[in-house]
Amino acid sequence: MPQGPLPSDRDQRHAALGAIVLACFGLILLGLVRLQILQHDELKRLAEQNRIRLDILRAPRGDIRDRAGRLLADSQPSFDILFRPLPAESLTRARATIDPAWLTRIAALVEDDTADVRRRVREANRSGQTAVLRRAAPYGVMAAVEEFRADLPGIDVQVSPIRHYPEGMLAAQLLGYAGQINDGELSTRLDRGYRMGDLIGKNGLERRYEDVLRGVDGAEFVVVNAMGKRVATLSEGPPRLPVPGHGLTLTLDLDIQRALEAAMSNIERGAAVVLDPRDGGVLAMVSKPAFDPNEFSVGISSARWKDLNRDGAYPLLNRAIQSAYPPGSTFKIVTMMAGLRDDLIDGGTHFPVGCAGGYFFGGRRFGCWQKSGHGNLDTKAALQHSCDVYFYQLGLKLGLGRLETTARAMGLGEKTGIDLPAETRGLVPDEAWYDKRFKRGKWPRGVLLNLGIGQGELLASPLQLATMTAIAANGGRPIRPHVVREVAGVPTFKVDKPIEAGIQTDASDWDVVHEAMRLVVEAGTARASRVEGVAVGGKTGTAQNPHGNDHALYVAYAPMDAPRLALAIVAENSGHGGSIAAPIAGHVLRRVLLGDSTHAAPRVPPRGSAPADSAEVIGD
């Protein structure tokens, strides 16, 4: 029987190869089925356990130092308790957002209100940004969170920089504080790279120089598991390290600041400023009551906030630049200069009506602070003894225009332009202001009497009074009050030019003012501010206050032959400038100029108590 042809070796090889290929494809198919169907749930769980997350490395803010390089503010490491949003497909995210037991447990651990924790967690889940639940957590809180973190999805502990003020309450309102950004601040700064949990300057220098002090955050990619716990750092690239903010060197002198703080320690409410009359640098600034900015760096409770602001204390208010007071008799320096520069008076001018304790004008008697009267004084003696009757008459002779122009030229009635936020303008009324109040041309000339002695509608901040005194000290040259002297790494930084015009007049006019201010201290109402061996020029003031006892004021500069200190002091509701404010200035001047630290701060009667009624000690 015949047989067909046998397959060739070539055909056999093709068949074997085809079988192998089919077998391989079969194995691949089986593997896919196994991965996609049989092991789907297990592999999904394993994939969820390892994810890549971008962690932000917070940049420390720039340091703040006084003119000698002594530290006033820096950044220190602290432990923050964070909530990091979990992956959208993670079942634990829903639990972290809505589970009351989780929220209650977290709130207890971070020692915060449950509603506040819920708000921050929900906002973090919505925005995808990390939320800070507790900044600068104590070791006990941090340890408790670490102990239970495996059972707390989304919770993490991170080391972050926090603002630290080594001098505590010293210069608190000037420095300000940096705290956690709030929702309103964040909504206006999202385009500038701010995130939830960032620090931001809230007031003072921290706020004014926020863009300078703030650093550039770094970042790194980390591998985390499904509970948000960090497993490893991604090795594909190094982290981007944070860049600290620029440091500030201030004009502030820590020694003078401490002296002023000590002198004002018994003042319940008030403010004081010391300027360098040569360039306008702020050497010291105090506002009472004060606060400790370290408290605000970590956040304070509602109860603590209410305690700080009880009885209208408002410690965050910088009374040195944000409060305005009637300048009282300190304004007589302006009235006197206005008369001298327009040749209406000279150093020996007497007015026809002497002081018998009051002055009659328009059917009304305007009293002098010295009820027994001063007699008929010349210009210098009138300032020396602060005779109201003399300056009533000078105010009438000057008229509103001359008074207003001179006051503005000496730094009153407008912001000084200091590099601090929320400065007040004060008030120097002009004709338009009175026309608006009394109708055009209807305002009484009697307002000039009050303006001449620094009362009436005049208002000035302690900083403006210090500026006025500095301009008087340097013979009319304008200055620009400023706090920052240098910005590290910014060589182009410079202080702006003065806003006020200063006073252009004969040097002999200033000689009269300076001699009169010297007499005020040597044998007038400011004898309590005398410094042995140093000539001091000053002027006391007592400003009427419709809401309580008078405010005590004092302005001074020293040494008179080469002025390097110009100061202004306001003690609210404390009495007379000569008995309250002048001793404070004397304490500062003796401590700074003579190095005398042996005397205690001047004693001050409790705010609201009646002052002593002695001509030897009260003074205007």
Cβ neighbours of residue 229 closer than 8 Å, sequence gap 6 or more: 149, 150, 156
C-alpha 350/C-alpha 71 separation (Å) is 54
Question: What would the two tokens of residue 337 be?
Answer: 């200069």
Element (H, E) at 179: strand 178-180
Q: Active-site residues: which are they? A: 329
End-to-end CA distance of the chain: give it in Å, rounded.
148
Rounded to whole angstroms, the Cα distance separating 444 from 453 reads 16
- Tokens at 91, concatenated: 């079942």
Structure-block tokens of residue 534: 């140093």
Q: How many helices (H) and strands (E) does the chain have?
A: 22, 18
Q: Which amino acid is at 142?
A: M
Q: Of 239, 208, 266, which Cα lies nearest the Cα of 417?
A: 208
Q: How far is CA 116 from CA 123, 187, 435, in A?
A: 11, 18, 52
Cβ-contact 276, 482 below 8 angstroms: no
Alpha carbon distance 52, 98 (integer Å): 25
Helix axes 91-98, 100-110, angle to 10 degrees: 70
Environment class of 397 (CB within 10 Å of its CB; exposed 0-12, middle 13-18, buried 19+):
middle
Dihedral of CA 147/145/105/119: which sign? negative
Q: Which residues contact 381 (CB under 8 A, 6 or more apart)?
A: 374, 387, 519
Q: Whole-angstrom Cα distance, residue 139 to residue 141?
A: 6
Where are the strands (E) in 24-149, listed by range?
51-57, 64-65, 71-83, 131-134
Query: Of 383, 457, 467, whose CA–CA distance to 426 is shortest?
Result: 457
Q: Structure tokens of 86?
A: 């979990």
Rounded Cα distance between 471 and 284, Å, is 17
218-224 and 51-57 beta bridge pairing: antiparallel
Query: Across 214-257, where does the E strand assignment appear?
Result: 218-224, 230-233, 248-250
Which of 149, 172, 161, 151 has its CA nearest to residue 72?
Answer: 172
φ/ψ of 44, rounded to 5, equals -65, -40
